[in-house]
Amino acid sequence: MSEFEAGARPLGGTEHSWCRAVPGGTGITVLAILLSRRPNFPVLQNALQELQDAHPILSSKLHPSRTTGTFSFIPSSDPHVQIERISLSSTEDILKIPKQSPSLFPFHLIIEHEFARNPWAEPEFSEAQLIFATAYELPDDKWAVVLRLHTGACDRTASAGLLREVLRLMADGVTDGEIGSKVEGSLGTIEEYVPAGKANKPFWARGKDMIGYSLNSFRLANLNFVDVEQPRSSQWVRLKFNPEVTNQFVSCCKSREIKLCGVLAAAGLIAARALKCIPNDQTSEKYAVVTLVDCRSELDPPLHANSVGFYHSAILNTHDIRGGEKLWELAKRCYMSFADAKKWNKHFTDMSDLNFLMCRAIENPGLTPSSSLRTSFISVFEDPIIDESNEKLKEIGLEDYVGCASAHGVGPSLAIFDTIRDGSLDCACVYPAPLHSREQMQELVDNMERIIVDGLNA
C-alpha cells in the first residue's frame, strides 16, 4: 500500500522519535484489566470496535518508508481488532518463564510478558496495526484482558481514557450499534498545534543547549547497573499508598504549592543515593529527572483530554545530590526547577532537541554510560491520572487494572506511572531488566515509600 494513499499522514518529529524507540523496547503501552470472572467476549469485541470508530488512528496501521526512513499512519482495509484468547494451559506455560520470581502474582507477570510482545520490532515489517487485544485465562478462574498499543500513537493521557472507556463499555454491556460514538476528526501532530512563537529558539541558543545536554549526559549519575550484557526486558514493581496516606500526601503538596511529581522524583533521588551507600557530603552526584507534560490544554486549538495521539512533551532537569537531603526541601527544588522551565516554554522550545538526542542515543548506545541507553535516572508525569470506580465495575468482576509502558530500550532507569484511584495513590514503576534486578528495584521503591511516609509524619 502506498504511503501517499488518501488518508495517509506522515508522522511528526515526536511521533517519529517514538517509532525509532519502540523497536528497541521502549514505548509499548500496556493496559491490563484483572477480572474475577470470564469476560463477555461479544461485549468486549463491540467495545473495541466502538473505540476504533470513535478514534480513527486506532484503525490505522504504521507504515515505514524504506527509501526515506520515515513513517506514516495509513488507513487499514481491515481495522477490526481480533481478541487473541490464551487458554489456561498456555498461560501457565508463560508464567513458568520467570522461575526466579515465584512470589509474583500471575497478573503481574502477564503485564511483563506483554511488554515483551513487540510486533513493531520486526526488521522488515511493512505494516503493523497500532492496537492489539489479548485475553488470558488465569488460575483460580480469573481472567486478564490486555490492550497493547504503540505509544507513538497513544500517550498516557489517551491510554488512560481508553482504559476508562473500555471498562465503562464492558460494564454497560453494549452490543453493536447501541452507542453511536462521536467520531473524532483526523488529528495532526503536536508540532502542528504548538501556539505560534512558543517553540521559537534562536539558532545560537539551540546550539548551546544541544551542547549542554550532550556534555551533561556524560556527567550524569545512575543507579548501579547489575547486568549490562544480557538482552533486556521491562519489569515493574508497585508503589501504593492507602487513602489516608494519599490524602495527607496531596494536602502536604498543596500547602507547599508543589505537585506530587516533585515529591516522587525527590524520594527517588534520595533512595538512589542511599542505595549506593556513599557517605553523605563525600561526593556530589548529578542526577537527571525527566518530567512529562500533557500539552493538550496549551495547544492551538486545545485538544480534549480523550483525544487519541501523542501530545506529551518532556522537560529535563538535573539535580546535585550529596546525601542527607530532606524530602520536602528537595521536592521543592525538583518541582520549582521543572515549573520554572515550563514557564519559559522549555517543553516546546526543547522538544526537537530532546527528540534529536533520543534518536542519537538509539543509534549510538556507546554515547550512554555502559551502553545502557539510560538518558535519565527517573521519569515522572506532571499530573497523576485520577480515577473513580463504581458498582457497575464490580458487577463485571473488576479486581484490578494497570496502565503503563515498557522502558527497556532508550529511557530512564525508573519510569513512574501514577494514578490516584478511589483516593489511593497507585504507581506502576517500570525499569529495564537485567540492567537492574528485581531485588534492587524493589529495595529502591520500598525506600521511596519509607522516605515519603517519614516525610509526611515529620
Say what the pLDDT of residue 98 is.
Answer: 53
Say what the pLDDT of residue 4 is.
Answer: 43
Please, what is the average pLDDT of the chain? 89
The verdict on residue 74 lying in a domain is yes
pLDDT at 398 over 90: yes
Same domain, 194 and 168: no
Mean pLDDT of 388-396: 88
Residue 314: count other Cβ atoms within 10 Å of its Cβ.
Answer: 19
Helix (H/G/I), strand (E/B), else coil: 326: coil
Instruction: Give the chain's radius of gyration (CA, Å).
Output: 22
CATH number at residue 127: 3.30.559.10
Same domain, 165 and 195: no
Q: Starting at the edge strand that comes first in sequence, how are the strands of the sheet with 131-138 ordered?
A: 83-86, 131-138, 142-150, 26-35, 398-407
Domain boundary among 146, 172, 198: 172
Mean pLDDT of 180-200: 79
User: CA–CA separation, 440 vs 41, rounded Å?
Assistant: 40
Q: Could you tell me what percent of the chain has a pLDDT over 70?
A: 90
Domain hosting 409: range is 190-457
Say what the pLDDT of residue 214 is.
Answer: 59
User: CA–CA separation, 357 vs 211, rounded Å?
Assistant: 10
Contacts of 207 (CB under 8 A, 6+ apart): none
Say what the pLDDT of residue 1 is.
Answer: 37
The verdict on residue 185 lying in a domain is no
**pLDDT band at residue 181 using 50, 70 and 90 as cut-offs:** very low
Same domain, 18 and 150: yes
Say what the pLDDT of residue 103 is.
Answer: 67
Mean pLDDT of 127-132: 91
Q: Among 28-32, 107-111, 211-215, which stretch is predicted with the lowest mean pLDDT?
A: 211-215
Contacts of 275 (CB under 8 A, 6+ apart): 223, 224, 440, 443, 444, 447
pLDDT in tens, 356-374: 889 989 999 988 899 999 9
pLDDT in tens, 250-269: 999 999 999 999 999 999 99
CATH number at residue 423: 3.30.559.30
**pLDDT band at residue 96 using 50, 70 and 90 as cut-offs:** confident
pLDDT in tens, 39-57: 999 999 999 999 998 998 9
Same domain, 223 and 163: no
